[in-house]
Structure 1
Amino acid sequence: MTAEKPVNSAVGVIGLGIIGSRVVSNLRRAGYPVWLWNRTVRPEPNFLSSPAEVAEASRFIQIFVSNGEALISVVRNMAPALTPAHVVINHATVSPAETLEAAEIVKDRQASFLDAPFTGSRDAAGRGELIYYIGGDEEVLQTVRPVLEVAAKQILHIGAIGHASAMKVATNVISATQIAALAEALALLDRHGVDLSKLSLALENNAARSGVIDMKLPGILSGDFEPRFSLKNMFKDIQIALAMAEDKDVELPSASAFAGMAMAGLQRGWGEEDFSVLSRFYGYTGRNPQNSEPAPCGELPSGESPSDPAPVKSLANLWGLLSWKK
C-alpha cells in the first residue's frame, strides 16, 4: 500500500541523467513539487543554480550523481542550507566510505541521511519499478517512503548507512562476472559450430539461468549494445569493489579479471555502450548463426568491419592489465 504523501513534500533532485530524469517525471506525475539541479544546465521547469538552492526549496533531496567525488561536492555545496527538517537521500553507487563521509556532512547540520542505491534499468525507472536498497534509520525511511515509492516497486532495508552501498556494489560484481561468463560460454559454443540462439532454449530450465542473462543475451546475439548500464559505469563500480576488497584483505579474482577486460574495452572506445559489449572481443556478436561460420581465432568474421576487434583465443592478455595477485 502506498504511504500518504508527507506534509511539506517538496522534492529536490540533483543529477538528471538516465535515471534521475525519469524519477523527476514520476514525481511530477504524482503531484510532487520538484526542484532541480544538474552539472550541465537543462531547460527544465524549476531548474536552480546550485545544490544549495535546491536544499532551500526542498525538504527531501534525492541525489543521482555519477561517482563519490560528485556526491561529496554536492553535499558540501548544500550543507549550509540544510536544517533538521531535511532528508538527503543518496542514490549514487559509491563506496561505503564515501557514503559515510557524505552522511557525516549532512548530520553535522542536524539533517537526516539515507544510503539508497537502486537496481533497475532506464525502462524500470520510467515505469516506476526501481528497487531501492536502504541503509539508515528505519524511522527516517518511513518519513521518506512515500517519495521513494513514486519510482520504486520495492524498498529493501539492508542495515546501517553504508551497508546498502556495499550491497549494491556486491550485486554489480555478480552481474559483471555473470556476463563475462556468458561471453565465454558463447565463444565456446561458437568455436564448436553450435547455433548460439539455442543457448536461450538450453537455459530455460537450467540452474545457470539468471535475470541478467535473460536481459543481456538477446542484445549480445544481435550486436545491440544500447546502454542500459554502460561499460564505463560498471568499470567504476568494479573498481569500488576491488578497493573495498583490498581494504579488508579479500581477493576477488573474478572481479579483477572483469576489470582488466573492461579496461581494454574502454581503451577501444566502448565506454558509453552497454557493459555486455565486452562479448564483442570474441567476434560472434551480431552474426546470423544460420548464414556464417564461426571465425577462426584471430580472424574477422565475414562482413565484420576491420575496425572491430578480431576474435581472441584467450583474454588472459587483457585480464592481465589488473592482476588480483600482488
Structure 2
Amino acid sequence: MRVAVLGLGIIGSRAAANLQRNPKNRVSLWNRTPKGLEGEIPDLIEATADADVIALYLKDGPAVREIAERLWASSSGTPVLLNHSTVDLETTRWLAGECAKRQWGFLDAPFTGSRDAAANRQLVYYAAGDPLLLEKLQPFLLETSKEVIACGEAGRATIIKLVTNLVSACTVQALAEGLATASHHGIEPETFTSAVASNACGSPLAALKLPTMASGDFEPHFSLQNMLKDSRYVLELAKGLDTPAIKAVSDRMSELCDSGLATKDYSSLSSPYLDS
C-alpha cells in the first residue's frame, strides 16, 4: 500500500510509525510544521503523489478543508481519502460530496483512543461510507487499531465520535468535582479512586484519568484545546436540544484554555482544585 499520512501530532505520528512497520507499505509523511520523522516529506504534493490512500490526522475542520482543497487542485489520481480527524458534520459531508465528484474513495473514520492507544495499535475507528470500500480497507485500518466499527453512511461516524467525546468531557469534569469534594473533606485520592473503581460510575476512563488528576500530571494524551474544539462541534450538532452539561463543560474548558492550559491533557479540568 502506498500511503500518505498527513498530520503528525500525538496520534498521527504514532499511527504512521505503525504503518511503517509493515514492510509492504510505502509510507510518506507530511506535517505543516516539519517534525523530522523518518519518511517525512516537506512538500504536501510530493508527499501525496501516487498515493493509494491519504490518511488525515489533522487538527480541525478548517485544516481539513484547506488540505483537501490543495490536494484536489494538484492531484491527477483517484486515491482513497481517509479522514481520521475529528471535524464538524458539515465538513464531513462536504468531503464526501467532493470526493464523489472526483471519483475519489472516501471513508469518514474518526477514532477513539489517545496517545498510548495509538502507539500500541489500540485505537478504535468509527468508520462510515461505502461498505465495499470499508471491507476492502479494514485490514489496512487494523494496522493502526484494534477494532473498526461500521457506522453506515458517511457522517454517522463523525456524529458518534462527537457525542462520545461529549460523554468523556462531562465525565472528567464530574470526576474532577468528585475528587475535589472528597479531598476537601479529608478523603485520600487513593480511597476515592478505589471507591469509583468499584462503583457503577467506574470506567476505563476514570481508571486512566483519576491518578494523574490527583497528582497534577497533565502530560497531554488528548489536549484540552482539542476537547474544547470537539465540544463546540457537539454544541452545533445539538442545536434545538437542551444540553446544559456539555455547554457548562465547554465554557469551563474555554476558561482553562485561556488561563494557559490549552496544550495540557483535558484531565486538567481538575487543575483549579489542586490548591484548594
Q: Same fold (TM over 0.5)?
A: yes
Q: Are 1:250 and 2:244 counterparts?
A: no
Q: Are 1:17 and 2:9 counterparts?
A: yes
Between the two structures, name the one with larger relative contact order (CA 8 Å, sep ≥ 6): 2
Unaligned runs of 5+ in 2: none
Match in the other structure for 2:71: 78
| 1:116 alignment partner, one of 80, 86, 109 | 109
| 1:129 alignment partner, one of 122, 126, 133 | 122
**Distance of aligned partners of 1:186 and 1:89 in 2 relative to their CA distance in 1, 3 Å threshold:** same
Match in the other structure for 2:216: 223
Unaligned runs of 5+ in 1: 1-8, 284-300, 302-310, 312-326
How far off its partner does 1:46 sit? 3.9
Counterpart secondary structure, 2:238: helix
Distance in 2 (alpha carbons) for counterparts of 1:10 and 1:34:
6
Distance in 1 (alpha carbons) for counterparts of 2:4 and 2:82:
10
Counterpart of 2:75 in structure 1: which amino acid? A
Counterpart of 1:18 in structure 2: which amino acid? I
Match in the other structure for 2:88: 95
Point out the more displaced range, 38-47 or 103-112.
38-47
Q: Are 1:268 and 2:259 counterparts?
A: yes
Counterpart of 1:88 in structure 2: which amino acid? L
| 2:50 alignment partner, one of 36, 50, 57 | 57
How far off its partner does 1:50 sit? 3.9
Distance in 2 (alpha carbons) for counterparts of 1:72 and 1:182:
35
Q: Note if contact 1:83-1:109 (Cα within 8 Å) is conserved in structure 2.
A: no
Q: Are 1:208 and 2:181 counterparts?
A: no
Residue correspondence of structure 1 range 165-314 to structure 2 within 5 A = 165-246=158-239, 249-283=240-274, 301=275, 311=276
How far off its partner does 1:174 sit? 0.3
Match in the other structure for 1:3: none
Counting matched residue pairs gives 274
Match in the other structure for 2:18: 26
TM-score (norm 2): 0.95
How far off its partner does 1:119 sit? 0.7
**Distance of aligned partners of 1:50 and 1:103 in 2 relative to their CA distance in 1, 3 Å threshold:** farther
How far off its partner does 1:133 sit? 0.4
Structure with the bigger percentage of helix:
2
How far off its partner does 1:195 sit? 2.0
Distance in 2 (alpha carbons) for counterparts of 1:146 and 1:209:
33
Counterpart secondary structure, 1:258: helix
Counterpart secondary structure, 1:194: coil
| 1:143 alignment partner, one of 126, 136, 143 | 136
Counterpart secondary structure, 1:58: coil
Q: Note if contact 1:37-1:49 (Cα within 8 Å) is conserved in structure 2.
A: yes
Counterpart of 1:272 in structure 2: which amino acid? T
Distance in 1 (alpha carbons) for counterparts of 2:167 and 2:4:
32
Q: Note if contact 1:76-1:105 (Cα within 8 Å) is conserved in structure 2.
A: no
Match in the other structure for 1:317: none
Distance in 2 (alpha carbons) for counterparts of 1:201 and 1:263:
30
Distance in 1 (alpha carbons) for counterparts of 2:56 and 2:41:
14
Counterpart of 2:147 in structure 1: which amino acid? Q
Distance in 1 (alpha carbons) for counterparts of 2:68 and 2:3:
16
How far off its partner does 1:203 sit? 2.2
Q: Note if contact 2:197-2:206 (Cα within 8 Å) is conserved in structure 1.
A: no
Cα-to-partner distance string for 1:172-210 (whole Å, 9 max, x where unaligned) = 000000011111111221222222220122123211101
Counterpart of 1:179 in structure 2: which amino acid? V
Distance in 2 (alpha carbons) for counterparts of 1:40 and 1:190:
42
Counterpart of 2:106 in structure 1: which amino acid? F
Distance in 2 (alpha carbons) for counterparts of 1:35 and 1:25:
11
Distance in 2 (alpha carbons) for counterparts of 1:17 and 1:194:
38
How far off its partner does 1:131 sit? 0.5
How far off its partner does 1:18 sit? 1.0
Percent same amino acid at aligned positions? 36
Distance in 2 (alpha carbons) for counterparts of 1:22 and 1:162:
25
**Distance of aligned partners of 1:82 and 1:65 in 2 relative to their CA distance in 1, 3 Å threshold:** farther
